Structure 1
Amino acid sequence: MKKTAIAVASLAAAVTFGTMVSPTFANHVNSLFNTIDQADGGMKNAAVEGYVQEVNKKVTDKGITVIVKEVLADPTRIALIFDFVDKDGKRLDFYNPNTYDFYYDGRFTLTDNTGKDLNPLGDGWAQRKYGDYLLVEQDLYNMFDRAEKAPDGLTIGVNFSNIMDTEGSWKIDIPIDMKKAKAVAKTVEINKEYTSPQGIAIKLDNVMTVPSASLLTLETDWNEQRIKEYMKLIEEKGWNDAPEGSRKDMRLTPGELMQHYLTDYGLAYEILDEKGNLIAGRDDTMFETLNGIRKNEVDMTSKGEGKGENQGMVWWDGFAPFTGHEKVTFKLHSIYLKEPASFEAKIALDELNKQPVTVESSGSTFTFSKFNLKTTEEKEKIGRYEWRGKGGIIEFEVTLPKDIVYITDWKAKDETGKEYRLFMDNGAGEYTRGKDGRVKIKSALFIRDLVKQPKELTITYGIQEHQYRDVKWEVPIQLNK
């Protein structure tokens, strides 16, 4: 996803639509929000229900045409689909998958019917390749916490100033009628609270259902006991080493990095139908296959915003609409907390090149194998893993301790004491749960800037993520109130 800033409060339009965009798209089953594989369930529902508008308005400059194909809008989000074509009508390939760069410069504004800029900072505009098209989205739920607070009309200002290295001006204003989507929106107040044995307090505020989503709003925080225990640990370990006054650079100190890890926490929960079947689920573990409860999320899922001075957060979790159900049940599944670990493995690389080396430490059992030295800066695939830059690569398999689902804060040091940055490949790795419930990982470590094979490497990790299942909280939600 690419975030963009807004240069000005509003943009003059080269093309202005004469009518407001409203849900009248007759061919909704053929909508790009319904037929492209990358569409989430909420987009498909909004298209089928007729809350997507076919636009097909265009503006041309310097032989390049920008086309606004379709618009989806309700009180939780706005989404636009764009196409770019040359003077012969041939589609332009505007995205580089190797660098994740877009070959254009675009700015967007959002105003209400009075001309008020609803997003003066210009943040939150997310852009991604969507099939052969460009999808631009803006979430609205953190602007309007209730559907009725959304304006009856909005205008999206679009301004592209550079496309495919061609300077130009492509400006369009897109008025949107929100009244029909607001009319079918419904908010159910819940206001239930629970505190886990680990001291994580959770409040389930409400659920709002609109054409493209059922949106849960939650608040989370630490209770006083957990704050006291955390502060005691930081003091005992000396992790309160933040410098006073100005810094020489922006890098975190070792203690600040540990604080960053240890204040992080996550949730997993299920949404069950009347018969107890899973219809939706959030799971903050990095690897969704471990629990199998992550389901029917939409693009806005799990956006958090800090609240208060402690560890308070407000979360907005979006799922495909819970339509067709009179009652659902919110069931808390897990709490995730990062905790200190002390794994260490000393590996003689000559020995490793002859045969795998098994190390048991801190409850983990590692088998390291296949050391490779990458000597070029270019991206290169070694084995099943792909890396960019020079460095060493060590493949491994590990069985983690009971209830530990992830490990991080990796470090490496050679026999001379020189330290290296170390990264675990999360993309190409395999993550499974054995019959005993313990997580198994098959992956590789990349030792950044290693230019020759050392005699020995000491590899450590300092953080493990603990999954706590000793939580018991279910909340029935009557949707047809």
Structure 2
Amino acid sequence: MTNLDKQITQTLKKVAGELDQPNFVMPDQVVAYKRKRSRLLGTLVLPVSISCALLLTISVSPTFAAYVKSLFDGSDKELQYAAQEGFSQKVNASVTDRGYTLEIEEILADPMRIVAVYSIKDQQNNFIHPDKLHISNVEVTDLKGNVIKETKTYGVEIQENYGYLTLKKPGETEEQKLLLQFEGNQIDSVKGNWALEIPFDLEKTIKASKVLPIDKTYTTPQGLQINLNSIMHSPTAARVDYETKWTEEAKKRLVQESKQVKGKVDSVDPYVRYDDYKLNFHVENEKGEKVKDLTRALDTPRKAVGEYGHSNRSYGFAPLSPDHQYILVLDSLEKTEPYELDVSFEPKQLAEKPVRVDKDGKTIEIMSVTFDEPLNEASPKNEKHATILLEAYLKDISYINLADTILMDDDTDKIINRFGWTIKDEKGKIYNVTGGDFKMIGKDEQGRNHIRIKLQSYEMKELPQKLSLTSELAKKSYDLDWKVPLPMPKEDK
């Protein structure tokens, strides 16, 4: 029995098990087929001795998942449901190089996202863990090879023997028949060339998707104007598209905030954080129950439509059931702005007790200064790093930059802004922050965020007599409560 016969036998056994009719006979003869590298399998018609003849096509087939259990059955519920409804496309396209075979087995694509399932096997047909593959390129093109914009950003989730590669959006195109270009250049420590070109079709999922207008507007107390434009309902998700821009008064305030940040050079315009913010949403049903969101999978980069933070954005979440009514809730605005923190201490005295500073409703405790292994992979590994551990209790602060980030003016090579933590000793020497950790612990009795921060620097070889820590920029979270009912598509009668 050839390897192809074995593969067909395994497939038929799987089919028979799904149909609850396990008795079948492997045909003695099949149509001869020579498999080519980087090409899809052709069509094979096989007589099978079960209650009826079964037409088995090993190719891109939108309904194949109805006959053979979908690999999306082990993924999130939204993809499971879409596969069960026949929206996934079975592929089984493979390429072999250097003794390893890369196979794209199934694709599910709609206007929200493209998800491809792949696996890797060695010469003995054993699975290789999917994270051993170094993916060198992923993009979507039309049939002529033209790259569809905004399709290079992707993420990979691993589930047992399979990798689930997700492109955050198919991109802007009128074409429905597209090609997924998938390339790898290394598996484990073996370099090679694993390139596949997979055709897929959006026609079925586009027909099943609906775009409905919303047209609701709200301006936050911070001066950010938000206009909800529309909602798209697709087989795998729903997505609200919205537009944001600052009021004229807010723009002036942002300029003034940037001038407060340390390191500003008077002859150079300050870096204004028009785009340095995030809106946090959730969706709830008529009972006030939250709907599981998919923002990590579907969140897409903003698209600028003008200057000064004027842009289009989107928020994606799970598909909505026609049996319920839903409301989009704007929870908060996170905005980066000046926020001063400073504390001075003698490191050698920390063994007796921590240093605590209370100022303007803020509390900082310096717990210890030790020499430890680096916390971050990018840090040098050949020496110990001075590690400052501090606990902070701060109102409405969601994040503080660890490292000192420097923004330069390209024309003059002058510093525009520096922000992050600064470590300085009693002689004025500055130690660059080369790594660290930021962790939210919870709330204290005053309702402030309890934050644990570790700052590391490999530049500090011994403990100075005195140290000072300063930070002048943080992300502040402003609570909001704007609610908008979401329109639902009418069911086809």
TM-score by length of 2: 0.75
Deviation at 1:57, TM superposition (A): 3.0
Range that drifts further, 221-230 or 126-135: 126-135
Distance 2:454 2:374 in 1: 18
Judge conservation of contact 1:431–1:442 (CA < 8 Å) in 2. Answer: yes
Q: How does 1:269-280 map to 2 (within 5 A)?
A: 269-280=281-292
Residue-by-residue CA offset, 1:328-365 (whole Å, 9 max, x unaligned): 11222212222212211101011112222211234311
Change (3 A) 1:58 1:141: closer
1:189 pairs with 2:237: no
Distance 1:399 1:378 in 2: 23
Residue-by-residue CA offset, 1:48-98 (whole Å, 9 max, x unaligned): 333223333322222111111221111222111211111112223463xxx
| Residue 121 of structure 2: aligned partner | 85
Residue-by-residue CA offset, 1:401-440 (whole Å, 9 max, x unaligned): 3x333333211111221112335513xx342124543211
The DSSP-based 3-state class of the residue aligned with 1:56 is: strand
| Residue 313 of structure 1: aligned partner | 311
Q: What is the count of residue pairs matched by the alignment?
A: 418
Change (3 A) 1:363 1:465: farther
The DSSP-based 3-state class of the residue aligned with 2:165 is: strand
Distance 1:109 1:405 in 2: 34
* Root mean square deviation, CA, Å: 3.2
Judge conservation of contact 2:60–2:91 (CA < 8 Å) in 1. Answer: no
**Unaligned residue ranges in structure 1 (runs of 5+):** 1-11, 96-101, 245-252, 281-294, 381-386
| Residue 65 of structure 2: aligned partner | 25
Distance 2:37 2:142 in 1: 16
Deviation at 1:238, TM superposition (A): 8.3
Q: How does 1:29-108 map to 2 (within 5 A)?
A: 30-35=69-74, 39-93=75-129, 95=131, 103-108=133-138
| Residue 383 of structure 1: aligned partner | none
Distance 1:120 1:230 in 2: 32
Deviation at 1:266, TM superposition (A): 1.6
| Residue 222 of structure 2: aligned partner | 198
Judge conservation of contact 1:221–1:312 (CA < 8 Å) in 2. Answer: yes
Judge conservation of contact 1:17–1:174 (CA < 8 Å) in 2. Answer: no
| Residue 482 of structure 2: aligned partner | 473
Judge conservation of contact 1:432–1:440 (CA < 8 Å) in 2. Answer: yes
What amino acid is the match of 1:301?
D
Change (3 A) 1:237 1:465: closer
Change (3 A) 1:142 1:209: same
1:212 pairs with 2:236: yes
1:419 aligned residue (430, 433, 447): 430
**Unaligned residue ranges in structure 2 (runs of 5+):** 1-35, 43-58, 402-419
Deviation at 1:226, TM superposition (A): 0.4
Distance 1:17 1:243 in 2: 65
The DSSP-based 3-state class of the residue aligned with 2:424 is: strand
Which structure would you say has the larger RCO, counting Cα contacts within 8 Å and 6 or more residues apart? 1
Deviation at 1:120, TM superposition (A): 6.5
The DSSP-based 3-state class of the residue aligned with 1:352 is: helix
Judge conservation of contact 1:273–1:325 (CA < 8 Å) in 2. Answer: no
Judge conservation of contact 1:393–1:446 (CA < 8 Å) in 2. Answer: yes
What amino acid is the match of 1:420?
Y
Deviation at 1:243, TM superposition (A): 7.5
What amino acid is the match of 1:413?
K
The DSSP-based 3-state class of the residue aligned with 2:127 is: coil
Residue-by-residue CA offset, 1:418-464 (whole Å, 9 max, x unaligned): 112335513xx342124543211234232342221111110111123
Deviation at 1:214, TM superposition (A): 0.7
What amino acid is the match of 1:176?
F
Range that drifts further, 222-231 or 131-140: 131-140
More strand by share: 1
Decide which structure has the larger Cα Rg and report it: 2
Deviation at 1:165, TM superposition (A): 4.3
Judge conservation of contact 1:366–1:396 (CA < 8 Å) in 2. Answer: yes
- Between the aligned residues of both structures, percent identity stands at 25
Distance 2:232 2:342 in 1: 48
2:398 aligned residue (401, 405, 409): 405
Q: How does 1:235-384 map to 2 (within 5 A)?
A: 241=265, 255-256=270-271, 259-260=272-273, 263-280=275-292, 295-374=293-372
The DSSP-based 3-state class of the residue aligned with 1:425 is: strand
Distance 2:300 2:169 in 1: 14
Judge conservation of contact 2:149–2:171 (CA < 8 Å) in 1. Answer: no
Change (3 A) 1:160 1:195: same
Deviation at 1:390, TM superposition (A): 3.8
Change (3 A) 1:40 1:308: farther
Judge conservation of contact 2:66–2:84 (CA < 8 Å) in 1. Answer: no
The DSSP-based 3-state class of the residue aligned with 1:76 is: coil
Deviation at 1:235, TM superposition (A): 5.1
1:226 aligned residue (218, 233, 250): 250
Distance 2:191 2:397 in 1: 52
Range that drifts further, 357-366 or 64-73: 357-366
Distance 1:158 1:13 in 2: 14
Change (3 A) 1:123 1:349: same
What amino acid is the match of 2:427?
T
Residue-by-residue CA offset, 1:123-145 (whole Å, 9 max, x unaligned): 3244454443333222335425x
The DSSP-based 3-state class of the residue aligned with 1:468 is: strand
